[in-house]
């Protein structure tokens, strides 16, 4: 049975990659597998014959390969041959370490064939959710125009620009929207696709296909890690699978509430196409938002992989508590450290949950402080990861952007936002924390600590981008809720109240699934060309623009600064040149980076090039901004007709080097 499930899942996986990323994705897939492979041998040794070994090995192996790529780039040796040699060295070193592990270091309860079958069934959520949105991500119509649906425009298009920047192998990388500044962002996850697409042969240079495959593989690891964490509750495979599926598919009541509101006002349900349905708490109450698991899969795989490693790092304390062996503690520390290299905030959060869970178990079991102190090896890798991030200037400026206290969006309808965002699974899951003699208590304590810590972050920690911490806290809380839900369904199925399990599951589905159904449909709906709240629901790139972008990629230096006017593009094509031309800009309005006043100040300076009647001044400004090429297309002609005409007539300052029906590219003399 388990072999059939594994075979069916593998076939479905290949079909997903082929369907969404085409031949280029199938070509890139072996490179992702190669990046993940080094950790698998060690994972199997550490966890024994257990799914956790494969999942932790793949997640850890991919992250270690990212760090290997970083080492090559930091040494100034970036090339296809150097990456291959470094990968072979990585494989050899990990294999040597794995051979030193004689017996499993992390002892979990036995893994059974029903567990394998249940995990494979749950993993089918990944193709079920991602197939349609990723098939239409960057899809072209019969005329050749390509389309990108919001909110891929806030994340995926940024990830393309980021991967292209990392592929220039500058260390630290430069900010694509302020070319003379370092990039302050956690870019670790994107190093593998950057190395493959930038240094490999031409058939591997499709950045979008590589990122699609990366996201789909990461989603698989995320769902598997959530399953493994819920599995530590001691519940049956069916109860665990049901809990994970409900959290992934039916955690939010926002879609249900919106449907009720539309029907009450006599409006058609088709109006859901023009609603950010997983953000109703923000639209209605101006409150905090919680993104469902599916949105992590769609939009932010780097956070998903960090979350997966964090959950895997909690398996030791969920099983053995403060009495874990030194070897198991070291394994947890390494996993938490790797999570921190991908996302310092999430890694630190899961490390804190680990520490609080150890302390709570020691206190409740009347253990000694010596048992708590024995977990010190788990703190070293996360601390080293934070130091590594500081050296690479990833989080520079983030510390001053943090605010602690009940402020901002958290004060707006705090109960309503939580119930709408998590209510369908939160309310029934609370009963899962009650004592259950059939199931171990330690795993439930870890989940409760994680849930409470997630609530603290949700309400009391704010970044200058006001919703960001809420998103990350939501990821933690959603993962924690799977465990008590599994306990609930396990208890109901083992009692005389077994029919209530079906009733409860159906109730959660009815209230929670409309959000995911509507949101998944909208994520793939590239036929909606109407305006959203300040941005188009679907972004498009015309054939003429694509031709001009291809010319820029083929005829300008990789580190050239190619500038489009940012103000007129706003929240729509805000990453147009960095994403589609793969070139840096001197000024931009990046919605995926921490807001800084200088972004708008520089963008105003670029705008002045189009508005000033003095072309000498315009040229001087372009030179001060170190712009090599100026991009002018239909948007600029509509916004600044006189300015565009002046640029065309100032050949002594701006020389036209490319032109088609929509676009002119000027070289700044």
Integer Cα distance of 245 and 293 in angstroms: 10
What tens digit of pLDDT does each residue of 176-195 get?
Answer: 999 999 998 999 999 999 99
Q: Are 637 and 617 in contact (CB under 8 A)?
A: no
In the numeric block, which tokens belong to residue 262?
Answer: 């539309």
Under a CB-based contact definition with an 8 Å cutoff, are residues 499 and 489 in contact?
no
> Are 110 and 6 members of one domain?
yes
Low-confidence ranges of the chain (pLDDT < 50): none
**Nearest by Cα to 311 from 235, 384, 223:** 223
The residue among 634, 592, 532 whose CA lies nearest residue 149 is: 532
Domain assignment of residue 298, yes or no = yes
241 and 144 both lie in a single domain: yes
Domain-ending residue, one of 471, 488, 523: 523
Q: How far is CA 395 from CA 158, 182, 503, 521, in A?
A: 18, 11, 47, 35
Q: Is residue 533 part of a domain?
A: no
Whole-number Å distance between alpha carbons of 663 and 634: 7
- For residues 34 and 129, membership in a common domain is answered with yes
Beta bridge partners, 26, equal: none
Q: Are residues 466 and 501 in the same domain?
A: yes
The residue from 523, 550, 580 where one domain ends is 523
- Give the count of beta carbons closer than 10 Å to the beta carbon of residue 414: 16
The answer to whether residue 534 is domain-embedded is no
Same domain, 457 and 598: no
DSSP-derived 3-state class of residue 666: strand
Residues 295 and 402 in one domain: yes
Q: With respect to residue 537, please indicate whether it lies within any of the assigned structural domains.
A: no
| Same structural domain, 181 and 114 | yes
Q: Which two tokens stand for residue 407?
A: 């402020």
The torsion angles phi and psi of 641, rounded to 5 degrees, stand at -60, -40
Q: What is the pLDDT of residue 668?
A: 96
Domain check: are 562 and 480 in the same one?
no
Q: Which two structure tokens, joined as six digits, stand for 555? A: 């005829």
Residue 549: domain span: 542-668
Q: Which of 495, 523, 551 is the last residue of a domain?
A: 523
Phi, psi of 78 (to 5 degrees): -60, 120
Q: Is residue 276 part of a domain?
A: yes
Contact 530, 537 (CB under 8 A): yes
- Integer Cα distance of 51 and 44 in angstroms: 8
Residue with tokens 């054939």: 543
In a domain, 529, yes or no: no
Q: Report if residue 531 sits inside a domain.
A: no
The pLDDT assigned to 396 comes to 60
Same domain, 313 and 381: yes
- Secondary structure element (H or E) that encloses residue 620, with its range: helix 615-624
SS3 144: coil
Q: Give the tens place of pLDDT for each residue, 296-329.
A: 999 999 999 999 999 999 999 999 888 999 999 9
Sign of the alpha-carbon torsion through 126, 130, 132, 134:
negative
Contact 255, 272 (CB under 8 A): yes
Residues 292 and 440 in one domain: yes
Same domain, 194 and 77: yes
Cα 63 from Cα 44, distance rounded (Å) = 17
User: Tell me, what CATH number does 561's domain have?
Assistant: 3.40.50
What pLDDT does 181 receive?
Answer: 93
Chain-centre distance for alpha carbon 232: 25
Q: 319: part of which helix (H) or strand (E)?
A: helix 315-320
The pLDDT value recorded for residue 400 is 56
Same-domain pairing of 141 and 209: yes
Asked if the structure places residue 647 within a domain, the reply is yes
Report the domain count for the chain: 2
């Amino acid at each position: 049975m388990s072999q059939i499930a594994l075979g069916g899942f593998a076939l479905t996986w290949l079909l997903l990659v082929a369907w969404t990323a085409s031949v280029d994705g199938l070509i890139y897939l072996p490179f992702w597998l190669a990046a993940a492979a080094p950790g698998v041998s060690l994972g199997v040794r550490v966890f024994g014959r257990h799914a956790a070994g494969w999942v932790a090995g793949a997640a850890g192996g991919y992250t270690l390969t990212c760090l290997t790529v970083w080492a090559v780039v930091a040494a100034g040796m970036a090339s296809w041959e150097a990456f291959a040699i470094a990968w072979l060295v990585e494989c050899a070193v990990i294999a040597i370490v794995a051979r030193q592990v004689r017996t499993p270091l992390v002892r979990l309860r036995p893994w059974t064939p029903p567990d394998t079958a249940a995990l494979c069934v749950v993993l089918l959520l990944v193709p079920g959710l991602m197939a349609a949105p990723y098939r239409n991500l960057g899809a072209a119509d019969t005329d050749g125009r390509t389309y990108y649906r919001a909110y891929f425009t806030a994340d995926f298009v940024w990830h393309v620009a980021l991967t292209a920047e990392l592929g220039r192998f500058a260390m630290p990388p430069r900010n694509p929207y302020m070319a003379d500044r370092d990039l302050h962002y956690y870019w670790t996850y994107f190093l593998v696709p950057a190395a493959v697409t930038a240094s490999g042969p031409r058939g591997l240079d499709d950045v979008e296909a590589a990122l699609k495959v990366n996201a789909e593989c990461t989603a698989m690891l995320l769902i598997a890690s959530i399953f493994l964490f819920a599995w530590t509750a001691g519940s049956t495979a069916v109860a665990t699978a049901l809990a994970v599926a409900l959290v992934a598919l039916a955690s939010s009541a926002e879609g249900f509430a919106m449907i009720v509101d539309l029907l009450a006002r006599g409006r058609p349900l088709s109006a859901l196409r023009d609603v950010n349905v997983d953000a109703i708490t923000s639209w209605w109450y101006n409150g905090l938002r919680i993104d469902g698991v599916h949105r992590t899969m769609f939009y932010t795989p780097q956070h998903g992989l960090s979350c997966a490693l964090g959950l895997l790092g909690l398996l030791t304390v969920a099983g053995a508590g403060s009495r874990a062996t030194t070897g198991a503690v070291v394994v947890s520390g390494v996993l938490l450290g790797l999570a921190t290299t991908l996302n310092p905030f999430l890694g630190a959060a899961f490390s804190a949950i680990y520490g609080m869970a150890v302390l709570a178990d020691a206190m409740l079991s009347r253990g000694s402080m010596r048992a708590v102190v024995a977990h010190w090896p788990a703190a070293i890798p996360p601390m080293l990861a934070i130091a590594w991030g500081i050296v690479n200037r990833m989080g520079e400026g983030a510390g001053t952007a943090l605010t602690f206290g009940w402020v901002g969006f958290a004060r707006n309808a705090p109960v309503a936002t939580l119930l709408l965002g998590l209510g369908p699974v939160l309310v029934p899951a609370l009963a899962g924390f009650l004592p259950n003699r059939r199931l171990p208590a330690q795993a439930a304590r870890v989940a409760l600590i994680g849930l409470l810590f997630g609530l603290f972050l949700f309400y009391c920690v704010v970044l200058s981008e006001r919703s960001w911490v809420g998103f990350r806290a939501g990821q933690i809380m959603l993962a924690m809720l799977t465990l008590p839900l599994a306990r609930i369904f396990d208890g109901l199925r083992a009692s005389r109240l077994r029919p209530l399990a079906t009733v409860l599951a159906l109730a959660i589905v009815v209230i929670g699934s409309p959000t995911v159904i509507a949101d998944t449909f909208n994520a793939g709906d590239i036929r909606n060309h109407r305006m959203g709240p300040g941005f188009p629901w679907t972004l498009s790139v015309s054939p003429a623009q694509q031709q001009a972008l291809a010319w820029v990629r083929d005829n300008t230096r990789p580190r050239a600064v190619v500038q489009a006017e940012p103000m007129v593009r706003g929240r729509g094509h805000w990453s147009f040149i960095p994403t589609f031309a793969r070139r840096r800009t001197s000024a931009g309005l990046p919605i995926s980076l921490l807001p800084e006043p200088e972004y708008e100040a520089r963008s105003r300076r670029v705008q002045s090039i189009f508005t000033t009647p003095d072309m000498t001044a315009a040229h001087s400004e372009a030179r001060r901004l170190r712009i090599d090429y100026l991009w002018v297309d239909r948007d600029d002609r509509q916004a600044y007709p006189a300015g565009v005409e002046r640029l065309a007539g100032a050949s002594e300052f701006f020389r036209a080097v490319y032109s088609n029906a929509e676009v002119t590219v000027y070289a700044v003399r």
